[in-house]
Amino acid sequence: MKERILKRFSDEIATLERELRHELPKEIQRAREHGDLRENAEYKAAKERQEMVNARIAMLKKRVREIQLMNLDRIPRGRAGFGSTVTLRGASGDTIVYQLVMPEDADAEKGLISTSSPIGRAILNREEGDEIKAVTPAGTRQFELVKLITIHDE
């Protein structure tokens, strides 16, 4: 999982750096050729894009460093943590399966929830059979953790 995220970030960084070094300078040069830069919308748009790309690259590189420092051995065994897949039973008896992922990979519709989300935080360090109460923007939700597969079990 860690390697997949690092690969995705590295690919995005490479794409953005290519845009920053090759495409944007050409756009800026073309816009400069149109004359007065004070009223040149193309020039302003290219410069704004350049700033945004630089900021995104910096953020991605920071996240790559943080992820590289992650020690997967420190993730608990037998308790929910990053990479765990949990089956929860709601108060009405319905079940839902979530995988605890990094914020960048979160997609609740696909069952991928961030370890920093309200439900994700409530699940962390829980064991099978534990009752879980999560305070969400939509209200308090209660679950029972009925099945746990940790990153070490997969």
Output the six-digit token pair for 79. 């308790």
Q: What amino acid is encoded at 107 in this protein?
A: D
0.75 exceeded by pTM: no
* Average pLDDT in the chain: 89
**pLDDT given at position 16:** 96
State which H helix or E strand residue 133 sits in. Answer: strand 131-136
Please say whether the structural domain 73-149 has been given the CATH code 1.10.10.10.
no
The three-state secondary structure class of 108 is: helix
Q: Which fold has domain 2-70?
A: Helix Hairpins (1.10.287)
Cα separation, 82 vs 133, in Å, equals 19
pLDDT, tens digit, for every residue of 61-91? 988 888 788 776 777 788 998 889 999 999 8
- pLDDT of 31 above 90: no
> Residue 134's beta-bridge partner residues?
141
Q: Domain map of the chain by residue range? A: 2-70, 73-149
